[in-house]
Each structure stands twice: as C-alpha cells, then as structure tokens.
Amino acid sequence: MKRKIDHIVYTVSNLEEAITEFENKLGVRPVLGGYHKTFGTKNALINLNDSIYLELLAADDSNTEIVKPRWMGVDQLTKNQITRWALRSDSLKPDAKILRTYNPHMGEIRRGSRNAADGSLLQWELIMPLPAPEVEILPFILDWSATEKHPSELLPKMACELLAFYGTHPKPEMFEGVFQTLNYSIDIRPATEVSLKALIKSPKGIVSI
C-alpha cells in the first residue's frame, strides 16, 4: 500500500493569534479542533483536501497535569513553524521497529483521543513524536482504524491543497535508508537549518509556510 501523509503540524506559541494569522494568509479560517488532554496541547485544523490536514498546535497551559517537556517540540519552540508531520499506517509495530533503527528513543506506541468540535470522540493509535528536537525530519505515524471518521472528514471544504512538502537538513543523506525502508519518499535539501516546509494552494494564492 502506498504511503500517505496524514497531516502536518505547524506549532505556534499562541493558537488564537495563529488562527487569525492563517485566516489572513490563506483566506480561510482554521476550525478549532479540541484539546489533547493526555498530551497538554490544543489545536485548530485546515482542510488540505485528499484526506490531509494542517494542524495548528499550541501548548494548553491550562492543563497543569502534564509534565514538561510536552510532545511535538512545543516546549522547544523558538518561532512558529512546522515541527512535525505524520504518515498514515495500519501496521504500527513494523513501522516502530524501523524508526528505532534511526533513534532508539522512537517507536513507542500509544493510544490517544480528543473530543471533536461536534462532540464526537476521535481515537487513534500512534507512534509517539518526541518532545525534542524542535523540528524532527522523520514522521510520527498514525493508525485511525479505531475511530469512525478521520479528522479531515469533519472539516468543511476550504479550497486549500498541499502542493509540496519537503525538509532541509545539514546531512540529508542520513535519512535515506530510513525513508527507503518506510517506503516513502520526501525531498530533503541540504541546508544549515533543520526545517520542514509546505507549499499550499489557497483562496489567496500559493502560500509557503
């Protein structure tokens, strides 16, 4: 089965400000998603069509039960940017083994859930993204088979589309073997900065984030 991007995580310091910023930038207003009570974050979503979505993610500082550092680079954040991305899978155990060959701290499989805006419960299994570094080139991986609907199905059509997604890294060659084994190809360009970039077609034109 061909691999598919599930979603892209754009981590922000202030979710409400980011919602307004993206509405101005793309011409569509992100939809408030909900709270990850077990991970200490909250989000808003933008439908990118083809069952892909952009997640604006921020720390939920009202949740004092979660021990820092929280997932997705939230507590490492130096600027609003893409910090993580997810692939979709229905076979997490082999995927976890592959990721552990790159980093032995990767590969933990956990269950997660959050209430959607319509009150329904979204449930998933995932290979956990780590709290650090701020930006991780390798994906975390999600299995949505435990839930009735994928989050993208709960979103309105927004006339947005993911045109390109790529990374930059000082040593892009170090990821070649992992991605080959994961059976997914992503362009990683040589650069001094570690980053993830997306090109999105929107009602206001083509936008790079």
Question: In 38-175, where does DSSP find H-type helix?
Answer: 92-102
**Residue 1's pLDDT is what?**
54
DSSP-assigned letter for residue 157: P
**Residue 207's pLDDT is what?**
98
Q: How many residues belong to the chain?
A: 209
Residues 209 and 194: their CA atoms lie apart, in Å, by 14
Cβ neighbours of 209 (radius 10 Å): 16
- The residues facing 45 across adjacent strands are 31, 55
- The residues facing 5 across adjacent strands are 87
Residues 200 and 161: their CA atoms lie apart, in Å, by 6
- Tokens standing for 174? 């170090």
- The residues facing 35 across adjacent strands are 42
Q: Which CATH superfamily is domain 5-208 in?
A: 2,3-Dihydroxybiphenyl 1,2-Dioxygenase, domain 1 (3.10.180.10)
Q: Long-range contacts: 16-20, Cβ < 8 Å, 24+?
A: 18/44, 18/56, 18/58, 18/80, 19/44, 19/56
**Residue 151's pLDDT is what?**
86
Residues of the chain with pLDDT under 50: none
Domain positions in the chain are 5-208
How far does the chain reach from its first CA to its final CA, in angstroms?
29
**Residue 67's pLDDT is what?**
84
With the CA atoms of 204, 56, 52 and 207 taken in that order, what torsion angle do they form, in degrees rounded to the nearest 10?
30
**Residue 79's pLDDT is what?**
97
